[in-house]
Structure 1
Amino acid sequence: MIGIAGAGAFGTALAVALAKGGCEVRLWARDTQQVRLMQETGRNDSALPGVDLPKSVSCHADIADVCGGEALLLAMPMQALGGALDSWQQIHGRQPLVACCKGVDLATLRGPVAVIAARRPGAQAAILTGPSFAADIARGLPTALTLATAGDGAALQELLSTPTLRLYRTDDVIGAELGGALKNVVAIAAGTVIGAGLGDSARAALMTRGYAEMVRLAEALGARAETLAGLSGLGDLVLTCTSQQSRNFRFGCALGRGETFDPRVTVEGVATARAVVRLAETLNIDMPITGMVNALALGRIALNDAISQLMSRPLKQE
């Protein structure tokens, strides 16, 4: 049995893919009404409309029901991860705990694996990340992800792989965490460029310089540059900077057009930018794009001023 804590779009999509791959899956949601509707209809239309849940997916409102299996996937927003682990005393032992979120914790400036390890030191902590949209995974479209864990991840890789979900593993946890987190910030910037009508050439330049920022911070924290060149970095960056399916990209488009974005939609890159600005300052790392995204999201700078400041930076060798 594989437990999934979090019945949003991504958690539900993973439940569908793993069940179709032959696993028994138990899916937990905080909202008891949502659980009841999923049990009655066999679907989760509030998060992933039009997708039928396989018979081997059961839905639960008690977190204890999804604990104790071969692995527990934590499919919730990054900023909710620490609080959930603090309150769920039902999680114990050495069960693998796999983060399925991307970001940097505002309270600790840690990534999801470090947050898990700090609260459940006996568990195998891992992260599942990479270029993926929930709708594609649920439809059974070919998807490749990175599974990062400090220990031997071969058994976990085998457990979570399906005929349509291909996992590559790495022991560079920091690189995988930061690749998934920082690309959301760059995606907001890319969306802003497109929303403001600055064109695809500007977006390409923004993505390239944003990627340089990602590598710069990751290496300073001990990650390997080649990890950022893989699925959890470059692959995810390309996907989220070029598709309207990306919430971070859509948020950026709204910023660029001067429109209000739906406050009910979680945009992980906003909190990540805030955390990374603080982290970069402590390490004396230059991250101008991240800084501008943070300032724009907080309303501290006008879009034209942000563009002017970025374009007037000192000329230098690439």
Structure 2
Amino acid sequence: MKKVSVIGAGSWGTALAFVLAENGHDVLIWGRRKEQTNEINKHHSNQAYLKNCTLPESLKATSNLELAVEHAEILILAVPTKGMREIGAQLNTLLQQPKILVHVSKGIEPDSLKRITEMLAEEIRPEARKALVVLSGPSHAEEVVLRHPTTVTVASADSEAAKEIQTLFMNSYFRVYTNEDVLGVELGGALKNVIALAAGITDGLEYGDNAKAALITRGLAEITRLGVKMGASPLTFSGLAGMGDLIVTANSVHSRNWKAGNMLGKGSSLEEVTEGMGMVIEGVRTTKAAHQLAKQYEVSMPLTEALYSVLFEGHEPKEAVDWLMSRGKKKEIDEFLN
């Protein structure tokens, strides 16, 4: 049995805490709001994020971050990318001994273009972190708590830490693989949100299966092109953190990014979508970062460029699609590889 604290009581943090508690670990979940942590402790539920889900009675919650840090030998960081630096800075102050830090979020910081492990490495002093691990893959929280078969991957520069986290989470319905390509796993998890937003727009425009299949396929080509140029393994993008996560996020009604795109395709403004969702839409920030990365690495990413024009330049979704379809002739495979 391990002592684990999950930092972040949203849907994904709660689902992972659910898995860890069912695996027999001593789990404490941290949330900012006392009313939420009280609900988890008294009613074994978190209705705002996971409706009709009964949490294990052994799972405890706190709104005291210091207590959560003291409790654990392993910390699972399940906060949005936007809040990762703030949490990292707080952990840097609170950590008195090195611990394994596992982040489970998917995003890239605009402007700095840092991945989450890079952000954490900047915010938390080396002597306070035993290892940095990323957990990613096709995994909707709503299905995990129903114990539906789910498969993810963990990656770390420390292979022993990755194996430890693999063992921590593995059970009959939650299967975990290891991967040494931290860069590829983080890029795949972040960039698929961009394509999922675009897929939602396609569905909102009612363009059908042909268009969506093409978008997902060409989207994976874009992700792979950029990832390989940055130094990641192309094989990672055909795995769980790439193709797997892209398929589930671009097709599921559970996906916040797909929902947001769908609303945009049906005519809502970005402001209306953001306000209506009530939860963080990682793909919006990541689209800005992906647009910047494409320029920096001189990589062709037309789908990302088209989505950027819709989100930040006021173009209509149909106008962006018309531009994509009228581009010059290309070779599919040459374009994919280069």
Q: Are 1:150 and 2:145 counterparts?
A: no
Q: Could you tell me how far apart the structure 1 residues matched to 2:198 and 2:284 are?
A: 11
Q: Which residue number in structure 2 is paired with residue 13 of structure 1?
A: 15
1:75 matched to 2:82? The reply is no
Distance, in Å, in 1 between the alignment partners of 2:107 and 2:78 is 13
CA drift of 1:156 comes to: 2.2
Alignment check: 8 A CA contact 1:97 1:116 kept: no
Counterpart residue number, 2:171: 162
Tell me how large the CA RMSD over aligned residues is. 1.3
Map of 1:50 onto structure 2: 52
Instruction: Give the equivalent residue in structure 2 for 1:224.
Output: 233
| Cα pair 1:79 1:106 within 8 Å, conserved | no
1:116 aligns with 2:130: no
Cα distance in 1 for residues equivalent to 2:213 and 2:263: 19
Alpha-carbon distance between aligned partners in 2 of 1:291 and 1:148, rounded to the nearest angstrom: 29
Contact 2:260-2:277 at 8 Å conserved across structures: no
For residue 245 of structure 2, the aligned residue among 230, 236, 261 is 236
1-structure distance, mates of 2:47, 2:321: 40
Q: Normalised by the size of structure 1, how large is the TM-score?
A: 0.97
Corresponding residue SS for 2:99: coil
Asked if residue 294 in structure 1 is aligned to residue 308 in structure 2, the reply is yes
SS of alignment partner, residue 241 of structure 1: helix
Could you tell me how far apart the structure 1 residues matched to 2:62 and 2:279 are? 23
1:79-228 matched pairs, under 5 angstroms? 79-88=82-91, 89-120=93-124, 121-122=126-127, 123=129, 124-152=131-159, 153-228=162-237
Q: 1:22 aligns with which of 4, 21, 24?
A: 24
8 Å Cα contact 1:185-1:269 kept in structure 2: yes
User: What's 2:291 paired with?
Assistant: 277
Which residue identity is paired with 1:104?
I
SS of equivalent residue, structure 1 residue 40: helix
Structure 1 runs (4+) greater than 3 angstroms displaced? none
In the superposition, the TM-score normalised over structure 2's length comes to 0.91
Worse-matched range after superposition: 168-177 or 148-157 = 148-157
Aligned length in residues = 318
Structure 2: which 5+ runs fail to align? 333-338
- What does residue 320 of structure 2 align with? 306
Q: CA deviation at 1:117?
A: 1.8
Which one is further off, 59-68 or 215-224? 59-68
Supply the distance in 2 between the matched residues of 1:250 and 1:222 (Cα, whole angstroms): 32
User: Which structure 1 segments of 5+ residues have no match?
Assistant: none
Question: Percent identity at matched positions?
Answer: 35
**2:142–2:254 contact (8 Å) kept in structure 1:** no
Distance 2:176 2:144 in 1: 13
Summarize deviations over 1:216-264 as a string: whole Å, max 9, x none.
1101111000011100000011111111111111111111110242152
Secondary structure in 2 aligned to 1:168?
A: strand
What secondary structure is seen at the aligned counterpart in 2 of 1:158? helix
> Cα distance, 1:92 vs. partner?
4.3
Output one character per residue of 1:10-43: Cα deviation in whole Å (capped at 9) or x when no partner: 1111111111111111000011221122222121
More helix by share: 2
> How far does the alpha carbon of each residue in 1:103-134 deviate from its partner, in whole angstroms, 9 at most, with x for none?
10125211111111222234211111100100
Cα distance in 1 between the residues matched to 2:13 and 2:20:
11
Superposed displacement of residue 137, structure 1: 0.9
- In the aligned structure 2, how far is the partner of 1:119 from the partner of 1:162? 33
SS of equivalent to 2:20: helix
Distance 1:163 1:70 in 2: 24
How far apart, CA to CA, are the structure 2 residues paired with 1:92 and 1:185?
Answer: 38
2:97 and 2:119 map into 1 onto residues whose CA distance is 17
Counterpart-to-counterpart distance in 1, 2:116 and 2:164: 21
